[in-house]
Amino acid sequence: MSTTETPIRTFIAIELTPDLERAIRDLQAQLQGRLPFPSMRWVQPHGIHLTLKFLGDIPPSRLPTIQDALAAVAARHAPFALAAEGLGVFPSPSRPNVLWVGLAGDLPRLHRLRDDVEAAIAPLGYPTESRPFHPHLTLARIKDAAPTDAQQVRDQLRQSPAADLGALPVTAIHLMRSDLSPQGARYTPLGIYPLGTKGQLAE
């Protein structure tokens, strides 16, 4: 990497539709009233993505190679459909650190798409993720939850186990830039690759 290059924080994701983003905003508003403790850090709906691969800080000179790899992946996959439904936590209900909405629908095709992304990116110096892929949409992060707070989260999961938020059509892969600031992260597309085509660079 050139000493003059400023690294870009990047990840590969599937973007939400405006309808799904609004449904998530409404769900978060409901949950905030039921889980009103300070350990909850709610994710802004416009910042929620279905992440396929986090690349971290990369030199801008590497972008064309990554973009070419994603265009080739997109050309090999046809669009398919998912649905956002169900609440859950990571790593476990007894120790909730992340509150999420799950995904249903054509999950085998999602896993094949994600595996193809991993296989295309790994030779470029971005090792394949060793942890199992659990597709989800993060609603909130929970930091140092008190036992009573964790119990409220578990109670909420039992009371609302299957929030059905609507469809998530998977029609493109997005290469995203993430710029962090005290006001939160700002996301900018670096490339959009419609499935079944060669894709295009973002303007």
Q: Residue 120 class from Cβ within 10 Å (0-12 exposed, 13-18 middle, 19+ buried)? A: buried
CA separation for the pair 192, 203 (Å, rounded): 10
DSSP code at position 197: S
Which are the contacts of 29, defined by CB distance < 8 A and separation ≥ 6? none
Amino acid at 97: N
Q: Where are the domains of the chain?
A: 8-197
Q: What is the pLDDT of residues 38-85, one digit of tens each?
A: 889 999 999 999 999 999 999 999 999 999 999 999 999 999 999 999
Q: What is the pLDDT of residues 147-180, one digit of tens each?
A: 888 899 999 888 876 678 999 999 999 999 999 8
Chosen CATH of 8-197 out of 3.90.1140.10, 3.40.50.2300, 3.30.1370.100, 3.30.70.920: 3.90.1140.10
Q: What angle do CA 77, 21, 72 make, to 5 degrees?
A: 20
Catalytic option among 46, 111, 134, 136: 136
For residue 147, whether the previous peptide bond is cis, meaning omega lies within 30 degrees of 0, is: no
Model confidence pLDDT, tens digit, residues 108-158: 999 999 999 999 999 999 999 888 999 999 999 998 888 888 899 999 888
49 a catalytic residue: yes
Instruction: Please say if 136 is a catalytic residue.
Output: yes
- The catalytic residue among 49, 77, 111, 174 is 49
- Give this prediction's pTM: 0.90
**What gap in Å lies between CA 43 and CA 118, rounded to an integer?**
26
Show the beta-strand stretches assigned E in the chain: 8-14, 40-42, 50-58, 80-92, 95-105, 136-142, 164-170, 172-179, 186-194, 200-201
